[in-house]
Structure formats: structure tokens, C-alpha cells
Structure 1
Amino acid sequence: MDKSEIKIGIPAQITPPVDRNFEITRKLDEYGYNSMWYPDHLMGWIPDSIWTPDLMPIAKFQETPHVYLETFSLIAAHSVLTKNINMGIAVTETLRRHPAQIAQILLSLDQISKGRLIVGIGAGEAENTIPYGIDYSRPVSKFEENLRIIKLFMDNPNTKLDFDGEFWQLKDAIIGIEPHEKNKPPPLWIGAHGPRMLRITGELADGWIPIGMPLEDYKKKLNTIRNHTKKFDRTPNDITPAIYFYTVLANNEEECQKIMTSPLGRAWVLTAFDLFYKSEGCRHPLCDILNKESVNPLTDFIPIRLNREDALQAINAIPLKVIEKFFFHGNQETVIKAIEDYAKVGCQHFVFWNFTGMIDPSKYSESNKILLNVLKYFKD
């Protein structure tokens, strides 16, 4: 793969004040990044009980970790403000909205953005459903059926459609809106990690965007997806392989260590899958608190319910080796080498969710400069 084919994405601006949000968004477009990415959350991942200025400098300026401008509204606004950058959702799910409504929203955003939308989508999280009275049972089964319905509408605009599923029965359902480019609906990239989600990706998706994982794991799972494509009369080239890294950047390792091991850095590692802990011979620190043998943060962790004592106990129990594995961290040279290594096994689109400035505001400019230099390297 030629280095100019590699795509680099960064997080979108997702919080108020809106005037400042829009100002930074215009700059991201001007810088030349290939994409910017939006989480679709009601609740954030950091426990309120430890979101305090004595532990986290950002709490001096942002009262709560749960400040998210609504994703689809924000993408529509940013579409008007920008000209070139793609806008990706990382990721939405299909439990909070009817699949027909999701299809209508996605086609609308595809029109507004003039074909610049990438739809990251997955099975959802407990934190965005259970506290709000939304049924979170059988999330993968619901996701698969909902995804089929979404694709049915997007691939067949202005057509009466029927669907007889386990969760939904549609009769004479229709959506009249077409994609920006005829017969080319916005691509669906699945945030897949487990075997069943990998199979769904191979059958139904246009791309794969997992949260960062070790190179060998990425290679193995991408090969699994590619093998699945062949079972469904598709080809491996039908899937765009991407990756989404939780990132800490600084010019030396000592600074990276300081940022990653701060209370806010450690709190993010509570969202790591069990495999990060088990691969280092330890248990997830939430196991004892939640009284579980194993923990999947997506299905088991509701941060707002964690009291301060338990939250501090959990973050302080995280071993350094797990923190180092969870965060993609380093300097400009480290980032470039990692991109090249992952590209060799097939990854084409890299999203660096840069936590550096959020954890240590004094490092905001330095970390952004590192990413801009990386972008320049691959564009030159």
C-alpha cells in the first residue's frame, strides 16, 4: 500500500460552547485530515464520583463528564461548515431509535454532507440504555436484525418494503429519500470484536472499525472477516479495514507515562476489555466491585453508579502494563511506525482519539502538532 493511500482521522469537536466548537471544526477541515469522528453517547465513560478538580484538571472547566452535543444534529451542522473532511460516527447503535428512523437520518446526513458520511455502528452499551429504561437484552441479535432493516431501506429508496423478523414486522414501509450519489448509500462500518460481530461484519458491512487492539489480534480478526465475506458471495475488498486508537502523544516516553497513569488516564482504562487484563495475567478491577468473574465494560459498566471509594479502588488497581497496552502512546516516530505496521496487515484508515489534552491541558498543542506532522508525512 502506498503511503498516500493511508487515511488519518481525529475526534470531532463534540462539546459546547458552539461558537468555539465551530471555529475548531473549520480548522480541522483546513488541516487536511481525512475524517473526524463523533461518539453517540448520552452518558460518558468517566464516573462522576471522581470527576473532581483535585483529580482531573478538566473538571475545573467542565462540570460533568456527560456533556455531548447530539451526534446527528452536530454532524448536520459540521457538514455545512466544512468542505472536504469526512464525518464518521464512532459508533452509534440501533437500540435507541427505530431502524427506519436511523436509515432516514443517515440518508439525510449523506445528502447534507454531500456524500461525506461514514456510519460506524455497533451493538450498543449498557450505559446508554439501561439507565434510560431501554431494553438491553440480546443486543447483538437486535443489532443484526436492525442492521438488515437499515440496509434494506438505504438500498431500496422510494420502495414499499415488507420485513418479517423476530423483533420487527414491517408492512408497506417506505422511505423516499435517496443517497447523495445514486445507488451509493453511506458506508456502514461495524465496531466488531467478538466472533458473531465479526461474522456480521463480513456479511453486511462496508468497513470494520474496532477499538485499538494489538497488531497480531488485528491481523487475525481481519482475516476472519475476510474469510466470512467469501461465504456470502462478497470479496475482502468489500470491507474497508480501519482502527480506532485511544491515544496519548508526547515527545518523550516519560511524559506519556505521566499522562497515562494520571487518575483520568487510569479511569479510561476501566473501559478496556477483559482480554487486556487477562493477557497480562490479571483480572479486570471491576470484577470484585461488580461481583463478576469477568467484565465486559460495554455490557456491565454504568459509570454513574460507581461511588468514589470503589472508583478510586478500581483505577488504582490497574497495573502499568495494562495501561501501556490500552493506550496507543508515543511520539511522532512511534505513530508513523505503528501506522506502517498495521497498514502491512491491511489497515487503511486510522483514527487517533487524542486524549492527551483532555488529561493534561498543557500538552494539548504538543500532541496536536505531533498528529499534524504525522498527517503531513503521509500526505507528502
Structure 2
Amino acid sequence: MRDIRYGACGSLTDVTMNRMAAQMFEAQGYDFMIWPDQMGMTIPRSIWTPDIAPGSEVFDIDTNFDAWALCADAAAHSERINLGITVNDAIRRGPANYAQMVLTMDHLSQGRYFHGMGAGEIRHFKPYGLARNKPFTHLEESIKIQKLLMDADGPVSYDGPIWSLDKAVMTAMPYGDKAPPILVAGGGRAMKIAAEYADGWITMLPAAGDPDHYAAQVRQIKRWAEEAGRDPEALRFYALILGLICASDDETEAVVNHPLLRFDSIALIPDVNVFNSWGIIEHPIRPDYNYSRDIISTDWSREDTLAVIDKVPPSVVRRARACGTPKQVADQLQPYIDAGLDWLNIINYAAFVGSGNFADSAASLALVTETVRLLRERNGQPIPEGMAGAAASGAAL
């Protein structure tokens, strides 16, 4: 039986709810939970209005408390569930800062922390007066230095293109036998960095490609790891699952036609070549669209946003998201597991177009839990008692 793990996302908008979520996910038998280290979302504020998003009267789409503090609080109020921040960028903080923070979180969680790194997205830099220069060089070198510092038992010297260390000291030891794993997010060069220096790779599915495309990426990463003298079978293959999980076909049809999700489905596209291969439309933002480079939600007027939405048919949403009932979504995800995916972080984006109230949020999470239960069943994994109970009751909280 493969060690396939399933995770959920903590609350970024409410500290108390985040603590409750950590305890709930642990009780239900989830393997891990994560927080993205972000300042805002990709959905334009200009359409986060009650006429389009009823939840806008309950919470602000761009409210994001600090992921590290939320993770630390969850660590203090849980015992078993693994915890990760996915992903951090290599520009807003230096590698020595990360090494210290990772080791601290390793001890706070008693060995349950894992660390995600990526090249970063322009929405977290430009609005705050930061430049996104040489992001992949920063990423590669940051991981090298983090590992050097966390593995060293004395002063470390290093000379690189971005940072240099001169007898730098990081003598805090890992909680266990080794430092927490580092997973790298992104396509292209990030895949090679993951293979050569990290402990796993993160992507977004299904937006980043179909199962055959994903299988080819997994094989390529394993080849690069082997060429670098590393054990390819030790790598973790993690995906953020962009889900639209609904209770019925009618609800799914309404969701894939929703204007907010039609915009989000073309904003969160990691590889425009994959998008173009669908043969539905040319990318409506720009032909060479790059998610990390091109989307800043506050730059979008309501008029421009609605004009783009008008170009996006629901068939695009169905390709960019795992859509349907829990059984239908499980059917769509199983081929990725067969292709090598072993960590699934399933997010139900349908919650963004709900009322925003507690009952709707709980129902949305219950659909995720049922999807996980079905996948565990299909892959011969035991069903945790808490997960079976949540699925049977139809309530997540």
C-alpha cells in the first residue's frame, strides 16, 4: 500500500477558526494542513462585491494573517497532524532567516513541520515596493543555504551569486534526526531545482496538466534526481488540488458558470502552453500569460475584469479545476495518484461563491472530507474513524 497523504488548508482570515480547524482536521484523520505565505489573492477586489460574491459581506478576500504565526498556533494546539507553509518565496526573506524559522517550527511542532519554497509571485512584490529579480536563482541558492545551515554543527562559509556567508552560525539542531523536508513549487527550472536539491515537488492540478502530462513531469524529475546522485524514490510529489466540489450536478453547473470562478480559472494557470493545448480559447489576459509574473488583483478594474470573464466559457473552468461531486472529483484525481502523486492538498474553491456563513463553509469542507474518504478507500488505505463520521454526518465542524 502506497503512503498517500491528504491535507487541507488552515484559515487565513480568522485566528480562532484556524485553531479550531487544526484540531478538527487532526480529529478527522487528515495527514497534514498548510498555509500559503501570501499577502492577497488573485481574485480582483473590483468583483468581490455582494452582487457577485455574497461572502464579501462576511469576509474580505484579501485578508491574510501571517502564515508562520498561524502554523505555530496550530502546532501548539495539535499533536499528530503534519503542518506546512506552502509556499514561501526566496526574496522577501533571506535563507538564514528561513533556516532559523524552519528549525524553530520543527521544535514547536515536535518534528511535524514541512517547508515549501517557490520563486514567488509578482502580486506579493510589486504592490509592496519589492522587485522580483532573478527569482529562480534566489530560489536555488536559498535552498542550498538553508540546508547548509540546518545540517551544519559549526560555522558555515559560502560564496554564491546572491548571498555569501562568512563563518555563519546556526547551531540550533533539528528536533529529530534531520531537518524538515523542503519541497519546491513550480514548473520549468523549479522542477530541476526540486530534483537536485529539495525533498519533493509541488504543482497545481489539474490546471498544470492532465495525468499524462503530470506523469511525464514526475518521470523527468526522477531522472534529474538520479543524474544528480540522489534517490528519486525518496522524493515527495505534492499537488495543490484546485477543486470545485459540489453536492450535485446542478450545483456544479452553476459553479462553473459563476463569473468569479471563470476569472479565477484563467488567473491560476501555471503553464500557458498547457492552457493553449486545450484548444478552447486563447488566454484572454495575454497570449504568453504567466501566472507568477502577470496577475495583481488590485490592478483590475471591474470593467476590465468583466470583459475577460465574458471570454471564458464554463468548459475552461472544467479543464482548470477538478469539478463535480466527491465521487466525480475522486474519479478525476485517481489517475494523478496512479501517475505518482502522493500528497494531495485539496481545496474547495466553490466556497468562495457561497454565502460565507459558517454552515456553508462547513458543508464545503465536508465535501472535501468525503472526497478524501473515497480516495483512501480506492487506494486500500484505512478510513480514520473521525473521517468516516464526518462523511456520514455531512458536517465538517
Same fold by TM (over 0.5)?
A: yes
3-state secondary structure, aligned to 2:133: coil
CA distance in 2, matches of 1:149, 1:24: 33
Superposed CA deviations along residues 134-192 of structure 1, whole A, max 9, x for unmatched, are 12111111111111111111121x4201111111111011112111103x111111112
Greater mean deviation of Cα atoms: 217-226 or 296-305: 296-305
Instruction: Decide whether aligned partners of structure 1 residues 170 and 358 sit closer, same or farther in structure 2, where only a CA change above 3 A counts.
Output: same
- Give the structure 2 partner of residue 173 of structure 1: 168
Q: Which of residues 352, 355, 358 is equivalent to 2:346?
A: 352
Q: Report the AA paired with residue 156 of structure 2.
A: L
What is the count of residue pairs matched by the alignment? 368
Superposed CA deviations along residues 335-364 of structure 1, whole A, max 9, x for unmatched, are 333343222221111110111222224754
Q: Report the AA paired with residue 36 of structure 2.
A: P
Q: Which of residues 18, 22, 27 is equivalent to 2:24?
A: 27
3-state secondary structure, aligned to 1:25: helix
3-state secondary structure, aligned to 2:218: helix
Q: Which of residues 326, 333, 337 is equivalent to 1:332?
A: 326
- Give the structure 2 partner of residue 304 of structure 1: 298
- Give the structure 2 partner of residue 8 of structure 1: 6
3-state secondary structure, aligned to 1:209: strand
Say whether 1:286 aligns with 2:280.
no
Q: State the shift of 1:51 in Å.
A: 1.2
Instruction: Decide whether aligned partners of structure 1 residues 233 and 135 sit closer, same or farther in structure 2, where only a CA change above 3 A counts.
Output: same
Q: Report the AA paired with residue 280 of structure 1.
A: W
Q: State the shift of 1:113 in Å.
A: 0.6
Runs of 4+ in 1 over 3 A off after TM superposition: 361-367, 374-377
Superposed CA deviations along residues 246-276 of structure 1, whole A, max 9, x for unmatched, are 1111132331121132122123212223234
Q: Which of residues 72, 77, 97 is equivalent to 2:73?
A: 77
- Give the structure 2 partner of residue 208 of structure 1: 201
Contact 1:10 1:353 in 2 (8 A): yes
CA distance in 1, matches of 2:273, 2:246: 26
Greater mean deviation of Cα atoms: 32-41 or 360-369: 360-369
3-state secondary structure, aligned to 1:55: coil
- Give the structure 1 partner of residue 55 of structure 2: 58
Q: Report the AA paired with residue 214 of structure 1.
A: D
Task: For 1:1-380, list aligned pairs within 5 A.
Answer: 2=1, 5-16=3-14, 18-62=15-59, 64-156=60-152, 158-182=153-177, 184-194=178-188, 196-212=189-205, 213-269=209-265, 270-273=267-270, 274-281=272-279, 282-287=281-286, 293-361=287-355, 363-377=360-374, 378=376, 379-380=382-383
Contact 2:240 2:346 in 1 (8 A): yes
Identical-pair percentage: 27
Q: Report the AA paired with residue 195 of structure 2.
A: G
Q: State the shift of 1:103 in Å.
A: 0.8
Contact 2:18 2:74 in 1 (8 A): no
CA distance in 1, matches of 2:221, 2:284: 31
CA distance in 2, matches of 1:119, 1:38: 11
3-state secondary structure, aligned to 2:282: coil
CA distance in 2, matches of 1:205, 1:373: 32
Greater mean deviation of Cα atoms: 231-240 or 255-264: 255-264
Contact 1:87 1:116 in 2 (8 A): yes
Greater mean deviation of Cα atoms: 32-41 or 243-252: 243-252
Q: State the shift of 1:283 in Å.
A: 1.9
3-state secondary structure, aligned to 1:58: helix
RMSD: 1.7
Q: State the shift of 1:329 in Å.
A: 1.4
CA distance in 1, matches of 2:309, 2:148: 44
Greater mean deviation of Cα atoms: 42-51 or 333-342: 333-342
- Give the structure 2 partner of residue 290 of structure 1: none
CA distance in 1, matches of 2:160, 2:198: 19
Q: State the shift of 1:374 in Å.
A: 3.5
3-state secondary structure, aligned to 1:171: strand
3-state secondary structure, aligned to 2:158: strand
Structure 2's unaligned 5+ residue stretches are 377-381, 384-397
3-state secondary structure, aligned to 2:289: coil
CA distance in 2, matches of 1:59, 1:340: 34
Give me the TM-score of the superposition, normalised by structure 1. 0.92
CA distance in 1, matches of 2:182, 2:330: 27
Q: Report the AA paired with residue 159 of structure 2.
A: D
